[in-house]
């Protein structure tokens, strides 16, 4: 591998040299195409083993599995960097087709974390990345002084209403998980930036922003423009929620003005607030009469107990993870109703449905495609609650997308952009309406909330979907700043806390300083997963949903529409999914929605009645923070 690295570096240097460039004949179209075929095959073949190493690592954390994953990861990084450098050379060929140009471009930006070609850099980068992700997976907070793991603490943050305990969980998680990562993270940033520069990007953030079929700067502007469209809605929701929290907890815990205390919003990162719907529900009209998690429990879905052992002799229903698996069956049922083929048997054998008893794993949910054929699976530490019911649909959306584009060329085995990949399952989950829940037997027909509960239904959705947007935007605002140096290592904490206050209007429950690293307490930072994708997905899912409801001829209020069972919608969706990354994303958007623009209008239309209602509720209050 090292030889390959230095050859590629040499080649790049030769191309850069003006004297030699004249002497080197420009590559031909045939050569460029042959190179692409070779690179695609090599990367594809390597991914078969390296993704297996990653799976083993994520589902069985140990020093050994870390080493194996980092080993294959380093090979992948070096190989990709070499090909990315070569791609730049072939891009100079005259007469390249649009298609070939696109694949060369995709190859140039394929890596999330590039390493420089210097010997050892790819390995060091992968050692750091693996160590950070594993540390997150093993992370613990405390509750009443007792250690509590990541998936349990997430659940507790949703259910617990004791401000002291919430504070303890928030502080312990951020202190224990985030702070120790600071040094490793800074090293990783330096190496990745050096890699990005060798590939011709200003920094790693610029490389991330260049993956959207438009100039990188235009993409950043586009996200700001969309945020401006939906911010008035967020501001009203913030104002209303703050008042309700103040009513519940009093001035000492949550003052009536200023930012909201981050640990009171029902989620460790205050990124979605649906879990505190009970706190904000409008009196009388707000009681929806159901919560999906409670409905599941009422139907006998029991969360697997920590002490429960897997005894094959007991009836199927007593086996660990049985009910969590049944939640996935409901998810599969939705996609089947649209005409998608059932999940393969291996999905059910190989998916990690719940947290294993005997070892540490990376609990943060993810969807995998191990062989680009039929080995699709999910890794999750499922709980029987409404958050995870939605997350299951989310993860399955990734798996059905992966399967739909499987016939594309290797470089096109991806979403139209990463926001599309994140939006599919969420858009499907918007169809989990009361009527749908009746259809699948989870809700009694007599308990369907009437039109007087529309505001409640919309508010419940807004607490998750609208509340999420500023978080979805700021995570990468922070990372872009870290990568381009405007947030130096000496200000990692301040940079994060300032952005949280500016965009979300929230503050930590205790003061923080630069010994902390709160960004590291969010999976995607140590996991190195770009985050703007979720902001885009928040917007796109509403556009997809609006389009699907239109296609199905729905006439009622938008939020009551479910396209469950609609094969025509399924066929049209499949047509978009099958495209993978083969065309610029506006083409994919157009294929399903008829428009080429990503815009917050579908979202503001969906929530328009709520927006009006919130403005009334907030009358006389001074909103903002």
CB 131 within 8 A of CB 66: yes
Taken in order 558, 546, 466, 390, is the CA torsion positive or negative?
A: positive
Question: 33 or 414, CB closer to Zn ion?
Answer: 414
Q: Work out the burial of residue 300: count CB atoms within 10 Å of its CB; fewer than 13 is exposed, 13-18 middle, 19 or more buried.
A: exposed
Q: Does 534 bind ligand X8Z (CB under 6 A)?
A: yes
The single residue of 238, 364, 524, 559 carrying the catalytic annotation is: 524
Closest contact distance (angstroms) between CB of 58 and ligand X8Z is 12
Q: Is 71 annotated as a binding residue?
A: no
Q: Residue 367's beta-bridge partner residues?
A: 378
Task: Tell me which residues in 433-472 interact with ligand X8Z (CB under 6 A).
Answer: none
Q: How far is CA 590 from CA 25, 210, 587, in A?
A: 41, 21, 5
Question: 366 or 528, CB closer to ligand X8Z?
Answer: 366
Nearest-10 Cα torsion for 294, 298, 303, 309: 170
Choose the stretch contacting Zn ion; rule: CB under 5 A; options: 154-162, 414-422, 555-563, 581-589. Answer: 414-422
Residue 366 binding result from ligand X8Z, Zn ion, none, given CB thresholds of 5 to 8 Å by partner type: ligand X8Z
Residue 133 binding result from Zn ion, ligand X8Z, none, given CB thresholds of 5 to 8 Å by partner type: none
CB 114 within 8 A of CB 83: no
Ordered DSSP codes for 507-531: E-SS---TT--GGGGSTTTTTT--S
- H/E stretch holding 140 reads strand 140-143
Task: Tell me which residues in 554-593 interact with ligand X8Z (CB under 6 A).
Answer: none
Q: How far is CA 375 from CA 197, 349, 449, in A?
A: 36, 10, 40
Closest contact distance (angstroms) between CB of 419 and ligand X8Z is 11
Q: How far is CA 2 from CA 117, 492, 513, in A?
A: 9, 34, 42
Q: Is 364 a catalytic residue?
A: no
Residue (of 517, 451, 437, 442) closest to 482 by Cα position: 517
Q: Is 395 a catalytic residue?
A: yes
Task: Tell me which residues in 272-301 interact with ligand X8Z (CB under 6 A).
Answer: none
Task: Tell me which residues in 393-422 interact with ligand X8Z (CB under 6 A).
Answer: 394
Q: Does 478 bind ligand X8Z (CB under 6 A)?
A: no
Question: 254 or 366, CB closer to ligand X8Z?
Answer: 366
Phi-psi region of 95 (alpha: psi -120 to 50; beta: other; left: phi over 0): left
Closest contact distance (angstroms) between CB of 271 and ligand X8Z is 6
Dist CA 605 CA 600 (whole Å): 9
Dist CA 542 CA 527 (whole Å): 27
Rounded to the nearest 5°, which phi and psi values hold at 163?
-60, -30
Closest contact distance (angstroms) between CB of 456 and ligand X8Z is 23
Residue 593 binding result from ligand X8Z, Zn ion, none, given CB thresholds of 5 to 8 Å by partner type: none
Q: Is 364 annotated as a binding residue?
A: no
Q: Does 151 bind ligand X8Z (CB under 6 A)?
A: no
Residue count at the site for ligand X8Z (CB under 6 A)?
6
Q: How far is CA 436 from CA 360, 396, 444, in A?
A: 37, 18, 11
Q: Does 366 bind ligand X8Z (CB under 6 A)?
A: yes
CB 542 within 8 A of CB 603: yes
Question: 236 or 391, CB closer to Zn ion?
Answer: 391
Residue nearest ligand X8Z by beta-carbon distance? 365
Dist CA 184 CA 15 (whole Å): 34
16: which residues sit within 8 A by CB, 6+ positions away? Answer: none
Residue count at the site for Zn ion (CB under 5 A)?
1
Closest contact distance (angstroms) between CB of 450 and ligand X8Z is 31
Residue 453 binding result from Zn ion, ligand X8Z, none, given CB thresholds of 5 to 8 Å by partner type: none
Structure tokens at 35: 């190179």
Of the candidate residues 77, 100, 160, 391, the single one contacting ligand X8Z (CB under 6 A) = 391
Question: 84 or 365, CB closer to Zn ion?
Answer: 365
Ordered DSSP codes for 431-452: T--HHHHHHTTSS-GGG---GG
Closest contact distance (angstroms) between CB of 544 and Zn ion is 15
Q: Is 422 annotated as a binding residue?
A: yes
Of the candidate residues 365, 469, 506, 549, the single one contacting ligand X8Z (CB under 6 A) = 365
Residue (of 439, 472, 452, 478) closest to 541 by Cα position: 472
The single residue of 86, 198, 395, 546 carrying the catalytic annotation is: 395
Q: Residue 274's beta-bridge partner residues?
A: none
411: which residues sit within 8 A by CB, 6+ positions away? Answer: 36, 40, 103, 106, 107, 110, 581
Query: To which residue do tokens 């250690």 refer?
Result: 147
Question: 86 or 154, CB closer to ligand X8Z?
Answer: 154
Residue 391 binding result from Zn ion, ligand X8Z, none, given CB thresholds of 5 to 8 Å by partner type: ligand X8Z
Question: 541 or 574, CB closer to Zn ion?
Answer: 541
Residue 365 binding result from ligand X8Z, Zn ion, none, given CB thresholds of 5 to 8 Å by partner type: ligand X8Z
Question: 66 or 464, CB closer to ligand X8Z?
Answer: 464
Residue 433 binding result from ligand X8Z, Zn ion, none, given CB thresholds of 5 to 8 Å by partner type: none
Closest contact distance (angstroms) between CB of 270 and ligand X8Z is 11
Residue nearest Zn ion by beta-carbon distance? 422
Q: Is 212 annotated as a binding residue?
A: yes
Residue 567 neighbours by CB distance under 10 Å: 11
Closest contact distance (angstroms) between CB of 292 and ligand X8Z is 17
CB 189 within 8 A of CB 204: yes
Structure tokens at 460: 């419940």
Question: 193 or 391, CB closer to ligand X8Z?
Answer: 391
Choose the stretch contacting Zn ion; rule: CB under 5 A; options: 270-278, 282-290, 403-411, 415-423. Answer: 415-423
How many residues are present in the chain? 625
CB 585 within 8 A of CB 222: no
Closest contact distance (angstroms) between CB of 427 and Zn ion is 12
Q: 146-149 and 260-261 as β-strands: parallel, antiparallel, unpaired?
A: unpaired
Q: Is 168 annotated as a binding residue?
A: no
Closest contact distance (angstroms) between CB of 402 and Zn ion is 12
- x-or-dash string of contact with Zn ion, 417-456, rule CB under 5 A: -----x----------------------------------
Dist CA 126 CA 79 (whole Å): 13
Residue 166 binding result from ligand X8Z, Zn ion, none, given CB thresholds of 5 to 8 Å by partner type: none
CB 486 within 8 A of CB 220: no
Rounded to the nearest 5°, which phi and psi values hold at 260?
-95, 145
Chain positions contacting ligand X8Z, by CB under 6 A = 271, 365-366, 391, 394, 534
Catalytically active residues, by annotation: 395, 524
Bind-site residues:
212, 394, 398, 422, 533
Bind-site residues for chloride:
212, 533
Chain positions contacting Zn ion, by CB under 5 A = 422
Bind-site residues for Zn(2+):
394, 398, 422
């Amino acid at each position: 591998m090292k030889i390959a690295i230095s050859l590629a570096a040499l080649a790049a240097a030769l191309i850069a040299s003006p004297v030699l460039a004249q002497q080197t004949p420009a590559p031909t179209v045939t050569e460029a195409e042959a190179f692409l075929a070779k690179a695609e095959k090599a990367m594809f073949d390597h991914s078969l083993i390296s993704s297996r190493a990653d799976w083993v690592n994520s589902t069985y954390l140990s020093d050994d599995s870390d080493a194996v994953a980092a080993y294959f990861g380093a090979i992948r990084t070096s190989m990709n960097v070499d090909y990315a450098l070569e791609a730049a050379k072939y891009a100079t060929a005259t007469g390249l087709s649009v298609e070939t140009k696109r694949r060369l471009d995709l190859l140039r930006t394929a890596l999330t974390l590039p390493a420089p070609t210097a010997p050892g850099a790819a390995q060091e980068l992968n050692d750091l990345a693996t160590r950070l992700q594993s540390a997150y997976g093993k992370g613990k907070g405390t509750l009443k002084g007792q250690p509590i793991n990541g998936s349990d603490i997430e659940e507790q943050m949703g259910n617990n209403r004791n401000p002291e305990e919430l504070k303890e969980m928030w502080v312990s998680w951020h202190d224990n998980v985030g702070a120790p990562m600071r040094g490793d993270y800074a090293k990783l940033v330096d190496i990745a930036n050096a890699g990005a520069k060798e590939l011709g990007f200003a920094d790693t953030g610029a490389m991330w922003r260049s993956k959207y079929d438009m100039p990188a700067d235009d993409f950043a502007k586009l996200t700001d423009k969309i945020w401006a469209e939906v911010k008035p809605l967020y501001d009203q929701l913030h104002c209303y929620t703050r008042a309700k929290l103040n009513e519940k907890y009093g001035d000492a815990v949550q003052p009536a003005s200023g930012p909201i205390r981050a640990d009171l919003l029902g989620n460790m990162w205050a990124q979605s607030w649906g879990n505190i719907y009970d706190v904000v529900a409008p009196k009388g009209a707000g009681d929806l009469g159901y919560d999906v998690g409670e409905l599941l429990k009422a139907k006998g879905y029991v969360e697997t107990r920590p002490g429960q052992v897997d005894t094959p002799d007991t009836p199927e229903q007593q086996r660990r993870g049985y009910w969590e698996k049944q939640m996935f069956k409901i998810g599969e049922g939705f996609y089947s109703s649209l005409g998608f083929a059932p999940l393969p048997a291996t999905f059910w054998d190989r998916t990690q449905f719940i947290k294993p008893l005997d070892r540490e794993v990376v609990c943060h949910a993810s969807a995998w495609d191990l062989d680009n054929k039929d080995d699709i699976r999910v890794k999750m530490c499922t709980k029987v609650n409404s958050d995870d019911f939605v997350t299951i649909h989310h993860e399955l959306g990734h798996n059905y997308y992966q399967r739909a584009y499987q016939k594309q060329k290797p470089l096109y085995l991806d979403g139209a952009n990463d926001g599309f990949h994140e939006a599919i399952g969420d858009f499907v989950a918007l169809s989990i309406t009361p009527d749908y829940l009746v259809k699948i037997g989870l809700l009694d027909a007599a308990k369907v909330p009437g039109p007087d509960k529309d505001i409640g239904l919309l508010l419940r959705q807004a607490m998750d979907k609208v509340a999420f947007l500023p978080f979805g935007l700021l995570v990468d605002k922070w990372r872009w700043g870290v990568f381009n140096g405007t947030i130096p290592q000496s200000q990692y904490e301040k940079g994060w806390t300032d952005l949280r206050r500016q965009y979300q209007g929230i503050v930590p429950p205790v003061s923080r300083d630069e010994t902390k690293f709160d960004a590291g307490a969010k999976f995607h930072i140590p996991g190195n997963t770009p985050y703007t994708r979720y902001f885009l997905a928040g917007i796109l899912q509403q556009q997809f949903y609006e389009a699907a409801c239109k296609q199905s001829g729905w006439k009622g209020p938008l939020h009551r529409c479910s396209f469950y069972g609609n094969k025509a919608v399924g066929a049209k969706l499949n047509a978009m999914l099958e495209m993978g990354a083969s065309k610029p994303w506006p083409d994919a958007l157009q294929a399903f929605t008829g428009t080429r623009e990503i815009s917050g209008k579908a979202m503001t239309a969906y929530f328009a009645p709520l927006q009006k209602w919130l403005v009334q509720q907030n009358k006389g209050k001074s909103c903002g923070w």
